[in-house]
């Protein structure tokens, strides 16, 4: 049926079939709807009620949304509020049954079966750069080599402790990109590796997210020939969750030099502590102020002096 819809121009139409009918659209109704078309990559049968219950607490839409079947594992999510639909897109990727859900805006002007689902947004973490290059500009430049970069508002979202991250829309009809060879300013070449946050199920053999390993043609071909080699992809492409609210550095204020009203350094004194065993330690008042552990005598006589030693036996 789908092939006929795509290739109808190749058919010899009868006179009745060739009569063109003009259909009117209800623009007033369509203008109030904000639709997201979603392709579910799971092979399980889809239940619209179960899917609605699953995404309701995750999406937290302020107003109602409808879920409508469109065939071929495609569902339409119809939102009353545009902001609800935008929030869903901004927080990609989404998964169902651990498989990816590919989303795109849909205006309802064409049959859903004509839609092509090839894009998915990820937060990508970038590892292997020198500390001097951990800047948002570097993240954007590397992200553009992957796909369309989402503009950022908070630069702290782009810099982790020892890595960069960037929000980018990638073409998932191609294998996941594992990294890039880059040349630095000193002409040294190095490998920069990518890791993906919230990465759904994907194939360790070919790197596609459209299926897992047991359904991969590459795996089936190697299995039949007995040529089982190590996979080119693996769980190491998954990134740990990132908390942008947790700072990766801090600035510690100086103690001042005591001049011009600056804060004075804390008074610090030290004295030798000689124990009956002949061993000695140095105790500091500053350590006591900071809660540092100090020597605690336990049924022993502690002698505090600058020059005294333990008594002779």
The whole-number pLDDT of residue 191 equals: 94
Of 119, 114, 83, the C-alpha closest to 100 is 119
Token pair in block for residue 62? 């302020």
Q: What is the mean pLDDT of residues 202-231?
A: 81
Of 57, 11, 61, 16, the C-alpha closest to 36 is 61
Token pair in block for residue 218? 């590459």
Residue 102 in contact with residue 39, Cβ under 8 Å? yes
The mean pLDDT of the chain is: 79
The rounded distance, in Å, linking the Cα atoms of 126 and 141 is 11
Contacts of 11 (CB under 8 A, 6+ apart): 4
β-bridge partners, 65:
79
The whole-number pLDDT of residue 306 equals: 43
Domain ranges in the chain?
A: 33-114, 119-202
The whole-number pLDDT of residue 152 equals: 84
The rounded distance, in Å, linking the Cα atoms of 50 and 270 is 70
Higher confidence at residue 299 or residue 225? 225
Q: What is the mean pLDDT of residues 174-203?
A: 92
Alpha helices in the chain (DSSP H): 2-6, 27-31, 48-59, 82-90, 136-144, 217-225, 285-289
Q: How many CB atoms lie within 10 A of CB 181?
A: 8
Q: What is the mean pLDDT of residues 118-135?
A: 94
The whole-number pLDDT of residue 272 equals: 43
Find the range with the poorest average confidence among 85-89, 131-135, 198-202, 249-253: 249-253
The residue with tokens 């109808």 is 8
Of 78, 170, 65, 168, the C-alpha closest to 117 is 170
The whole-number pLDDT of residue 294 equals: 38
The whole-number pLDDT of residue 154 equals: 83
> What would the DSSP string read from start to end of 46-82?
P-HHHHHHHHHHHH--SS-EEEEEEETTEEEEEESSH
- Whole-model pTM over 0.85: no
Residue 247: pLDDT band (50, 70, 90) is low
Residue 125 in contact with residue 157, Cβ under 8 Å? no
User: Would the pLDDT of 230 be above 60?
Assistant: yes
Higher confidence at residue 246 or residue 107? 107
User: Would the pLDDT of 125 be above 90?
Assistant: yes
Contacts of 107 (CB under 8 A, 6+ apart): 30, 35
β-bridge partners, 274:
280, 303
User: Would the pLDDT of 81 be above 50?
Assistant: yes
Residue 30: pLDDT band (50, 70, 90) is low
Of 86, 52, 55, the C-alpha closest to 69 is 52
Residue 25: pLDDT band (50, 70, 90) is low
CATH entry, 33-114, from 1.10.3720.10, 3.30.420.40, 3.90.700.10, 3.30.70.330: 3.30.70.330
The whole-number pLDDT of residue 295 equals: 36
Residue 256: pLDDT band (50, 70, 90) is confident
Residue 101: pLDDT band (50, 70, 90) is very high
Residue 184 in contact with residue 190, Cβ under 8 Å? yes
Residue 96 in contact with residue 40, Cβ under 8 Å? yes
The whole-number pLDDT of residue 302 equals: 40
């Amino acid at each position: 049926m789908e092939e006929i819809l795509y290739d109808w121009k190749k058919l010899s139409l009868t006179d009745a079939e060739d009569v063109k009918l003009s259909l009117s659209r209800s623009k007033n109704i369509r203008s109030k709807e904000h639709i997201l078309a979603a392709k579910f990559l799971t092979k399980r049968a889809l239940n619209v009620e179960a899917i609605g219950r699953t995404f309701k607490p995750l999406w937290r839409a302020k107003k109602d949304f409808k879920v409508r079947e469109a065939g071929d594992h495609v569902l339409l999510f119809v939102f009353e509020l545009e902001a609800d639909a935008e929030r869903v897109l901004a927080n990609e990727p989404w998964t169902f049954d651990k498989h990816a859900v590919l989303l795109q805006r849909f205006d309802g002007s064409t049959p859903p079966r004509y839609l092509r689902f090839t894009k998915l947004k990820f937060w990508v973490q970038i590892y292997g750069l020198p500390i001097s290059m951990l800047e948002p500009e570097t993240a954007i430049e590397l992200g553009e080599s992957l796909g369309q970069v989402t503009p950022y508002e908070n630069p702290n979202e782009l810099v982790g402790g020892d890595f960069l991250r960037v929000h980018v829309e990638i073409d998932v009809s191609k294998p996941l990109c594992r990294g890039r060879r880059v040349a630095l300013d000193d002409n040294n070449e190095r490998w920069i590796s990518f890791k993906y946050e919230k990465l759904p199920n994907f194939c360790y053999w070919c790197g596609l997210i459209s299926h897992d390993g047991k359904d991969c043609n590459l795996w089936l071909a190697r299995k039949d020939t007995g040529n089982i080699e190590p996979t080119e992809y693996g769980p190491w492409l998954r990134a740990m969750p990132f908390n942008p609210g947790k700072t990766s550095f801090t600035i510690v204020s100086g103690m001042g030099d005591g001049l011009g009203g600056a804060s004075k350094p804390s008074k610090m004194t030290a004295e030798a502590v000689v124990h009956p065993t002949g061993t000695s330690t140095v105790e500091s008042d500053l350590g006591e102020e900071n809660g540092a552990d100090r020597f605690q005598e336990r049924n022993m006589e502690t002698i505090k002096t600058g020059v005294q030693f333990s008594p002779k036996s």
